[in-house]
Structure 1
Amino acid sequence: MTVARRRRRLAPVVVAAVLAALVTTIVTGVLRGGADPAPADTGAAQPQVVGARLVDARDGAEFLPRGVNWSSFEYACAQGWGLSSLDGTVGADKLGAQARAMAAWGMNTVRIPLNQDCWLGTRGAPVSDAHTERTAEDYRLEVAAFVRALNTEGLVVVLDLHSRKRATSPEFGNLAMPDAQSLDFWRSLAQTFRTNPSVMFDAFNEPYSRYDAADRLIFELTWECWRDGGCAAPVEDDRMASDGRTTYAVEGMAAVVSTIRDTGARQPVLLGGLDYANDLSRWAEFAPDDDQLVAAFHSYDFKECGDVACWEAVLAPLADRVPVLTAELGARDPLDGYVEDYLDWADGHGIGSLFWVWADHPDDPMSLISNLDGAPTAFGDLVRAHLAGAGD
């Protein structure tokens, strides 16, 4: 049984801080050339970091993200059968219908994993087929249209740099850390959404160290490299074998944040830690200097930080300093109690959760739906009940 948290109104001093942040945002836009208008009313919350919490800049009330990951923009475009899972569905309002289906569950946030190459049009992405030509412009327009549809239904959107296409095959994977083209991705994406106050950015899905087929460490991602970059990571993604001999120069989280800010975008930026975003042990020590950062945690029962002892030792003290968001929550068997145990603990510490995954994959026990109309699986029933009762 999850412990529901009421949406509480923050003290006047915090509200004043929110208003000051908004003034700073507007002034920053003026200093950059005056082209950016005041934040638009999208219909959804406008998250801003104030101290250790996210608040809705519209009224200063605490904003606790609760929702799902909406998967397919990260892989369909690389595999050559669509821009996302919505390609080929019947109905002109497919984006709006999908947004309404998610909103009906009572969530307030949707995280959208994106493909770096499909957005940029690099490495032959997005992949066309015999019937449909697909371009990077098509992909960008579809993402932007979906963001608008979600915002219209009152849903905040987290845009996540999740994967990239392989140069030699229509497949996809996740590098250990951002590369130089990741900065091009963020320069373009942040520029596109810089005036949308109902969007947050997730800098890089799951940073990790790399092992070879014999389980030998061939690339150790340190906290220094996580922040500053400059180390050499294998060019192969985590779905390919690697001996670590061919490498690329890593771009650190500080460079990603700086690239986003250089566009004029002031929205919160999520930063996942080491070990596939499961290790936040030194996040506060190495986080870049920015007042709109959120610590992103991926919680799964097969990862090391998967029990109350670790959550109390690592997450609880961090959540007293900065907002912590569970950007992915799931389990090998999501009905065996792990998810509910984590929700009980996280809800009690003011940590929101985004479930993995809103997708109709029959062979995946973490699929929340059995069709795109939002019919829940058994796991989906658990999640929908939690989301429906979150405001009680």
Structure 2
Amino acid sequence: MTASGATYRLLGVNRSGGEFTCIQGYGMWNGPMDQASITAMRSWKVRAVRVPLNEECWLGTADVPSGGTSGAAYQTEVKNYVNLLIQNGITPILEMHWNYGQYSGQGAGCSDVKATCQKPMPDAQYAPQFWTGVANAFKGNNAVIFDLFNEPYPDAAANWDTTAGWTCFRDGGTCTGISYQVAGFQTLLDAVRATGATNVVMVGGLAWSNNIAQWLQYRPTDPQNNLMAFAHVYNFNACIDTACWDREWAPVAAQVPLAISEIGENDCAHGFIDQVMAWADTHGVGYLGWTWNNWDCSSGPSLITDYDGTPTAFGQGFKNHLATVSN
């Protein structure tokens, strides 16, 4: 809700770059993060931007290559972009995307211990420290939303044992199939609240955040009662139709705010996301397109062909729909 008490849906885009460019040794962002690029977003009526971050780059560990922005310089870049978004009336969502911890099991994106790909869960070694730092940087500014972790998949690591997956999700520790010690979402939420930050905090689900069926049962306890759920959905996920969303997502949306913080499809069309957005509109659920980057739409969901806001075919469908529902 807004400060005045009005209902507010998170409608917008993801802006990828801060999670990978630094750890690959190529500076900070992928493409422009200036006023002109935000003006282009506003022309689409974007009012929320999710900003993926890299745990090790924020903390400035020795794993960040010399060419990658790291530590205080990285933090300053994040703060500057957040401030620019807020000045333009856009809600920033800060999200830990890539983190430390070696994992080579089912669904692994890499076998590297460094924060160079998506891991199944946050790590106990650095993740609480990351969230303490982010929360301290932005506490007192409730325009900023914290998304604790991108796409958990501890259920895949546990050979699709969902009970083991949800228990790991909440409690962390030693989790089936994961070699490193895990920071569960209760631990990370506690780290945020211990700073005095009262910001809205978002928590996803299992199966790369596509499964939130037992979210209400396993959600962390928030003393601020300021927790919201999120899901992700692409046309290649498991929960991809209205029957599944009605069964698994609608009960969550009925009790807590819900946003589908990544939506997309891998065919450069928009028939699938049209269904997602229509369902979300009828349930008061927000959604954010993946992604506001000028990548080749045929190799993955990309909304734009340039940072002036020229849409891909996929992006055109998203832009047209956003114009009908956003301010």
1:350 matches 2:292: no
Equivalent position SS for 1:357 = coil
Greater CA radius of gyration, 1 or 2? 1
Looking at both structures, which has the greater relative contact order when contacts are Cα pairs under 8 Å and sequence separation is at least 6? 1
Match of 2:139 among 183, 187, 194: 194
User: In the TM superposition, what is the alpha-carbon distance from 1:276 to its structure 2 partner?
Assistant: 0.6
The two structures, once aligned, show a CA RMSD in angstroms of: 2.2
Within a 5 Å distance, the mapping from 1:238-257 to structure 2 comes to 247-257=179-189
Instruction: Tell me how far apart the structure 1 counterparts of residues 321 and 100 of structure 2 sit (CA, whole Å).
Output: 35
Instruction: Tell me how far apart the structure 2 counterparts of residues 119 and 141 of structure 1 sit (CA, whole Å).
Output: 10
TM-score normalised by L of structure 1: 0.75
User: In the TM superposition, what is the alpha-carbon distance from 1:175 to its structure 2 partner?
Assistant: 1.6
**CA gap 1:155/1:233 in 2 versus in 1, 3 angstroms:** farther
Cα deviations by residue, 1:81-106 (Å, 9 ceiling, x for unpaired) = 120114xx6xxxx5222222212210
1:375 matches 2:310: yes
Cα deviations by residue, 1:178-207 (Å, 9 ceiling, x for unpaired) = 112100000001100111111100011111
Contact 1:233 1:248 in 2 (8 A): no
**CA gap 1:357/1:391 in 2 versus in 1, 3 angstroms:** closer
Within a 5 Å distance, the mapping from 1:228-377 to structure 2 comes to 228-232=171-175, 247-290=179-222, 291-335=225-269, 337-362=271-296, 363-377=298-312
Contact 1:78 1:165 in 2 (8 A): no
**CA gap 1:368/1:340 in 2 versus in 1, 3 angstroms:** same
Unaligned runs of 5+ in 2: 103-111
Instruction: Tell me how far apart the structure 2 counterparts of residues 164 and 178 of structure 1 sit (CA, whole Å).
Output: 7
**CA gap 1:188/1:324 in 2 versus in 1, 3 angstroms:** same
Q: Percent identity among equivalent residues?
A: 36
Letter of the 1:278 partner, please give it.
N
Contact 2:57 2:69 in 1 (8 A): no
Equivalent position SS for 1:176 = coil
Equivalent position SS for 1:388 = helix
Contact 2:142 2:200 in 1 (8 A): no
Equivalent position SS for 1:98 = helix
User: In the TM superposition, what is the alpha-carbon distance from 1:233 to its structure 2 partner?
Assistant: 5.7
Correspondence for 2:42: 103
Contact 1:326 1:352 in 2 (8 A): yes
TM-score normalised by L of structure 2: 0.89
Cα deviations by residue, 1:215-268 (Å, 9 ceiling, x for unpaired) = x9398752122111122365xxxxxxxxx6xx1111111011000000111111
Instruction: Tell me how far apart the structure 1 counterparts of residues 115 and 121 of structure 2 sit (CA, whole Å).
Output: 18
1:56 matches 2:8: no
User: In the TM superposition, what is the alpha-carbon distance from 1:337 to its structure 2 partner?
Assistant: 1.5
Equivalent position SS for 2:27 = coil
**CA gap 1:100/1:233 in 2 versus in 1, 3 angstroms:** farther
